[in-house]
Every structure is written in structure tokens, then in C-alpha cells.
Amino acid sequence: MKYFGVVLLIKHPSIDPAVISSELKLEAFRSWKAGESRATPTGTPLPGTWRDSSWNHVFSYKGERKFFDEIRQLLIQLLPHKDFLLKISNEGGRVEIYLQLPGDLNQGSSAEPAMLKEMAELGLYLGVEVFPEWGDDPRNTVGVTRR
């Protein structure tokens, strides 16, 4: 069975992650605010504080879906928030959509030029991560939105 993840990641010098969740109406999978004490995903303390704020939301998919079709649906959801997303970029932040793909499956999709244009107009980066040992049970499916 084919599976993949789509992650919306926002980095910013100082924004409160609760503001992002409120604006986009999405719960954070993981987030922190600049200046907070650092910790691992399991809560183990790390030295120092976070230099920047970070927020992400993970969408997990299984089945024969084309991943760029799912990114297109996410863009439709983000278009009403264009001013907010551009403000993040203008304040020194970064908004990125990236694919999480298993390294053990052959799957592909194509991005249409119109979609890439919309991403550019929203100031979005597009990234890809491949997990060679992801296995049949994706490790990032706890606490994510499934479509």
C-alpha cells in the first residue's frame, strides 16, 4: 500500500505558535516559541532555549493518492490566509510544505504549473524528505490529520 505525509512547517523569529493554530485552524503536531526551554519530541530537556519559533501540522495519507493532488487541496485551504503567510515571510520567517516519502515504494506525482505559481504567490517553499526505513506503519502518524 502506498503512503506518504505532507507537512506544513512554519518557522518565525518570535511568533506564538498558538497564533498560527488559531489563524490556520489547524492543531500543531509539534511547536515551540522562541525563548522557551529546548526539549526532544518525547519531552527530555535539552540545553538552552529555542532561537526561533516553530510550528508544524502533519497530514498522513494511505492508498493510491497522488501526493501533489493532496498538496493542491492544502493550497486551497491556505489561499484565504495569504496575507498571514506573506506576513510571516516578510517578518523573516519561512513557510514550507514538504513531502515525507517512504524509501521502499515506487510512487510519483506531478505538480501543475498553476499550483507551483500559487505556491510562489503564497511565498511557500516546497521540500521532500525520504525515509528509507519508514516501514508499513509510518512513524509520523500519531497526532496527525488523516484524509
What's the pLDDT tens digit per position in 24-72? Answer: 999 999 999 999 999 998 999 999 999 999 999 999 888 777 889 999 9
The grid cell for 118 is 500559487
Assign 94 to helix, strand or coil. strand
| pLDDT band per the 50, 70, 90 thresholds, residue 143 | very low
Query: Which of 13-17, 41-45, 117-121, 129-133 has maximum average pLDDT?
Result: 13-17
Whether residue 88 has pLDDT greater than 50 = yes
> How far is residue 37's CA from residue 130's CA, in Å, rounded to a whole number?
29
- The pTM of this model reads 0.83
pLDDT, average across residues 21-25: 98
Number of H helices, E strands in the chain: 4, 8
> How far is residue 35's CA from residue 6's CA, in Å, rounded to a whole number?
28
Residue 4: CA count within 13 A, CB half-sphere: 24
> How far is residue 123's CA from residue 115's CA, in Å, rounded to a whole number?
12
Q: Residue 12 in contact with residue 110, Cβ under 8 Å?
A: no
Quick one: 80 exposed, middle or buried, by C-beta within 10 A (0-12, 13-18, 19+)? exposed
Total number of domains in the chain: 1
The grid cell for 48 is 538552552
Q: In terms of residue numbers, what domain contains 106?
A: 3-146
